[in-house]
C-alpha cells in the first residue's frame, strides 16, 4: 500500500503526464499537417506554373533536394515528438499501475478500472508510420512531377 503523501504526488502527476501524452500526439499531427501543406503547396506551384517547361536540370535538382530536406526535417521533428510521446506514455502507464487502475475491485467488484491490454497497447501504435508515409508520398509525388515536367 502506498502512503498518503505518495498517493497525493501520483494524483498530481497523473493528469500532467496524461496531458503530455495528448500534447505530443497533437504535435505529431500538426507537424504532419504543416509538412504536408508545404509539400502540397510546392506540388501545386510546380504543376500550375507556366514556367515549368523551362526548368533546367539544376532547377529540378534544387527543387527535388529542397523537397527531400523539407520532408526529412519534418520526419525528424516527428520522430523527436514520437520518442517523447512514448516516454510520457510509459510513465503514464506506471502511474496508472501505482494508482491501482489495473487492479480488480478498485471501482467495481471483480473488474479493473482500465483493461489489462491498455498497459501495452501503446507499443503497437503505428500512427508514426502513417505520418511518415504521408510526408514521403507527397515528396515522391513532387519528385515525380519534377521528373515528368
- Pairing state between β 104-108 and 111-112: antiparallel
> CA 28 to CA 131: how far, in whole Å?
8
Decide if pLDDT at 51 tops 80: yes
Cell of 59: 532547377
Decide if pLDDT at 1 tops 70: no
Structure confidence at residue 123 as a pLDDT band (50, 70, 90): confident
Decide if pLDDT at 73 tops 70: yes
Tell me what pLDDT residue 142 has. Answer: 97
Decide if pLDDT at 110 tops 90: no
- Mean pLDDT value across the chain: 93
60 versus 108: the higher-pLDDT residue is 60
pTM tops 0.85, yes or no: yes
148: left (phi over 0), alpha (psi -120 to 50) or beta: alpha
Q: Report yes or no: 32 and 134 within 8 Å, Cβ to Cβ.
A: yes
Q: How many CB atoms lie within 10 A of CB 7?
A: 14
Number of folded domains that form the chain = 1
Question: Of 65-69, 104-108, 130-134, where does mean pLDDT reach its minimum?
Answer: 104-108
Q: Which domain holds residue 136?
A: 4-147
Q: Percentage of the chain with pLDDT > 70?
A: 99
Closest CA to 122 of 100, 90, 83: 90
Enumerate the H helices of 49-149 as residue ranges: 57-98, 118-121, 127-147
Decide if pLDDT at 74 tops 70: yes
Decide if pLDDT at 43 tops 90: yes
Amino acid at each position: 500500500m502506498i502512503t498518503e503523501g505518495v498517493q497525493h504526488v501520483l494524483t498530481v502527476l497523473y493528469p500532467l503526464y496524461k496531458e503530455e501524452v495528448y500534447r505530443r500526439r497533437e504535435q505529431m499531427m500538426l507537424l504532419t499537417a504543416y509538412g504536408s501543406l508545404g509539400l502540397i503547396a510546392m506540388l501545386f506551384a510546380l504543376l500550375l506554373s507556366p514556367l515549368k517547361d523551362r526548368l533546367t536540370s539544376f532547377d529540378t535538382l534544387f527543387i527535388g533536394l529542397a523537397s527531400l530536406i523539407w520532408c526529412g526535417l519534418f520526419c525528424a521533428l516527428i520522430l523527436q515528438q514520437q520518442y517523447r510521446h512514448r516516454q510520457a506514455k510509459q510513465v503514464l502507464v506506471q502511474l496508472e499501475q501505482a494508482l491501482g487502475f489495473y487492479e480488480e475491485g478498485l471501482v467495481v467488484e471483480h473488474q479493473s478500472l482500465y483493461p489489462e491490454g491498455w498497459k501495452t497497447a501503446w507499443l503497437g501504435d503505428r500512427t508514426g508510420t502513417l505520418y511518415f508515409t504521408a510526408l514521403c508520398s507527397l515528396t515522391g509525388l513532387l519528385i515525380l512531377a519534377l521528373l515528368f515536367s
